[in-house]
Amino acid sequence: MPVEDLTSRKEVASLLRSAGVHPSKRLGQNFLVDRTVLDAILAEVKRAAPREILEIGAGLGTVTCELARIAPRVVAVEVDRRLVQILERTVGSLKSVEIQRQDFLSFNFATAFDDRRTFVVGNIPYRITAPILKHLVEHRDAIADALLLTQSEVAEKIAASPGPDGTALGIFVQAYADVRVIKRVSKRSFHPIPEVDSTLWRLSFLKKPRFSADPDNFFAVVRALYGKRRKMIRSALRDLLPIERIADVLNTAGIDPTARGEGLTFQQLDRLALAITPFQHSPSL
């Protein structure tokens, strides 16, 4: 079938029926059928002008076929055997596209790419958003940018981190990357229609993290504070420190003990993690 038809809800539904594929809720299979959103994705990729692109969850090839017109090499990762068979029909003849059937969480950037500035594109299922983001961060040395579609709530909380509307996951991502929200995407832009809207956003990895403390210590502090975000900091730290040490640590870090952890900046979180190190319960936190 012509690749341009992949943005048609009617044609996508027909393609799925002919292949005997019922989209999996477990795998978060909601296929993009909105040309406006596709154009927004392509505009971001074109600005970056990458030589190599990795697509997470290539699905039916809607985005894949367009990416192949931008970059000399596109690695399309798809875990579902049924969709891989469709991909072979829709984009398999494109010379720049390599289809790989595998779980992205086991994808090895070091062996797959020579270019250490790979551009990542993906429509990320809610169920595995956090693991995918962690995998991207872990392989940040091989990635320049990642352009992602996620549930809006996830994207908004990440963009608002650190802060009252942020999350520990958001701080983890923002600790290593700049985050920019590009476009809110209606749930009607997908087939089948999911329950919530999505957001297109981009993360660009930094040359160095926004903190200087040991990562285990830094993120232990973040988890402690955001796990008890309504409590004052002196109370939230009791899982990390002997109670008699908390005042000394906060004084060393210059942190108000009655403040809430969600109000701390990266610099304050870093100072707190550095101050905790001599007093922590154990080396591993």
177-185 and 118-123 as β-strands: parallel, antiparallel, unpaired?
A: unpaired
Which of 65, 63, 61 lies closest to 40 in space, CA to CA?
Answer: 63
Are the C-beta atoms of residues 51 and 71 closer than 8 Å to each other? yes
Which amino acid belongs to residue 114?
D
**Which pLDDT does position 283 carry in this prediction?**
38
Q: Quick one: pLDDT at residue 5? A: 74
Domains of the chain with CATH codes: 3-205 (3.40.50.150), 215-279 (1.10.8.100)
As a whole number of angstroms, the distance between CA 18 and CA 31 comes to 16
**pLDDT under 70: residue ranges of the chain:** 1-4, 115, 278-285
The stretches of the chain forming alpha helices (DSSP H) are: 9-18, 35-48, 64-67, 81-90, 109-112, 129-138, 152-159, 168-174, 215-227, 233-236, 246-253, 266-276
How far, in Å, CA of 181 to CA of 175, rounded?
16
Which pLDDT score, from 0 to 100, does residue 72 have?
95
Q: What is the DSSP letter of 33?
A: -
Nearest residue to 276 via CA among 220, 230, 226, 227: 220
pLDDT tens digits along 167-209:
999 999 999 999 999 999 999 999 999 999 999 999 999 999 9
pLDDT of residue 280: 55
| One-letter amino acid of 62 | T
Is the pTM above the cut of 0.85?
yes
Report the alpha-carbon distance of residue 110 to residue 150 in Å, rounded. 25
